[in-house]
Chains A and B, each alone.
Chain A
């Protein structure tokens, strides 16, 4: 085996070990899994309960509030799964474990890939929880299996995007408290979208902002199978938005990591 192949193999092992360590960490500290599972489910309960009367207004898009809010709740959960993995990295930074990780020979890239992989795996948990919970409460999936796949693709990739954005901020501020800033960015990005109401309900600046917010495309990708059939015209803008956000945030996070640990 030549040197390059050995380095790739080693990088893969480091990334996988970091990812597995994150999952084991969840298992060993159940308090961390509570917000990952409970929070998105409770968000679905909150949104459907508080805003159930929205379906009484003409033009809402569905008469079943769960079909509208469940994908939104799943995306919220995925975003928090992404930020949760950043929280683990912040913990490593503050406790000095990150310094030990830096002692691993080779490129720093697997450190980033491992954290991102952990985030994508972690996102599967809230998505499944929200999906099953909403099904039992009356959600329907007219789009069938393709609709469910669209939901999982959207949540996993959005989790990766917010993990990377969180890492950009963490590598800059180097403190656990930077999570608060990330939470605001995450909530903000999700709120200024078609999360709770369709664009036709919005007025003024919000209508324009939601139109150009890439999260709107991701939401439409994840929600399409719950409002009707899955269509390519709704799928590709979501995939494109996810790809661009991943590439941009990934490049920024990589730059941040290189500055933190040259």
Chain B
């Protein structure tokens, strides 16, 4: 029992240490973090300037501006950049041999993955804070107040774990930065096939059905209601619960991939 407890404690300490290493790596190459902020901001600016006429279409939620509508989608977009970075960074560790060195050191296996994800989650939360501040400065309003802001930041951190787990699984399976990096556009498209940038009520046919059943829509819709309508405990639970559940699944996948790799070598 005590051994188990001290094992968990040690794993926790190792995860924190590796999270710190991951953060140091990220900040050393801070230029690479910038696209994750610039791109969603640019997209929000473009969409706000080109989709003004759509606000009048029947089925569009009642919003003051397109900026309010797109805030959750922009945060999601920012997070997706960092999430793939968690995978490419792990692939780099595999390519340059640092991963092998970690494996021969007395570090538990799981913290190797969680450390990278932890770093990505901290950066995702930071990005969410910066984006929210910029959106507020540009005239957006978050009707659920400070509580809503905190929830949105937590969702950002959870989303990066969900996507990052998948990217890590791919990094372990391919061991190639190029292959993991190449999946970024597909993540972008998955986000696009949801209500992140346009309401599902204005979509048609099978695409609408797909968007309505996309877990990203299940996260973004309640997140958006917190922004444009106000506080709702049901929305908070749904917006946090969906990415949490996906994180558990994808991180388990990554751990299984790691175990599979270790068995085969």
Contacts and interface: CB of A to CB of B under 8 A. Distances in A.
Interface of A: 29, 31-32, 34-35, 38-39, 42-43, 45-54, 56-57, 80, 84, 87-88, 90-91, 94, 175-181, 183-184, 187-188, 191-192, 196-197, 201-207
A56 B53 CA distance: 11
B246 to A, nearest CB: 20
B182 A205 contact: no
Given A50-B198, A184-B38, A57 B43 contact: no
Contacts, number: 133
Interface string B208-229: 1011000000000000000000
A15 to B, nearest CB: 22
Interface in B153-182: 174, 176-179, 181-182
A35 B186 contact: yes
A177 B29 contact: yes
Contact of B183 (A35, A47, A181): A35
B189 A42 contact: yes
A53 B38 CA distance: 28
Contacts of B59: 53
Contact of A187 (B39, B54, B183, B197): B39
B14 to A, nearest CB: 25
Nearest to B200: A50
Interface in B188-212: 189, 192-193, 197-198, 202-204, 207-208, 210-211
B46 A181 contact: no
B186 A52 contact: no
A73 B50 CA distance: 18
List the 8 closest A-B pairs by CB distance, nearest first: A49-B207, A206-B49, A184-B35, A46-B192, A53-B202, A39-B185, A35-B182, A42-B189
Nearest to A58: B53
Contacts of B192: 43, 46-47, 50
B54 A87 contact: no
A196 B182 contact: no
Contacts of A53: 54, 57, 59, 202-204
Contacts of B146: none
A203 B46 CA distance: 9
A91 B38 CA distance: 26
A56 B201 CA distance: 14
Interface of B: 29, 31-32, 34-35, 38-39, 42-43, 45-46, 49-54, 57, 59, 81, 85, 88, 92, 95, 174, 176-179, 181-186, 189, 192-193, 197-198, 202-204, 207-208, 210-211
B57 A56 contact: yes
Given A50-B207, A52-B203, A187-B39, A206 B178 contact: no
A209 B49 CA distance: 11
A43 B189 contact: yes
Nearest to B52: A203
6 contacts: A42-B189, A49-B208, A53-B54, A53-B204, A192-B42, A205-B49
Count chain A CB atoms within 10 A of each CB in B45, B50, B193, B210 and give the residue with the most: B50
Contacts of B193: 45-46, 49-50
Contacts of A39: 185-186, 189
Contacts of A175: 29
Contacts of A47: 192
A56 to B, nearest CB: 7
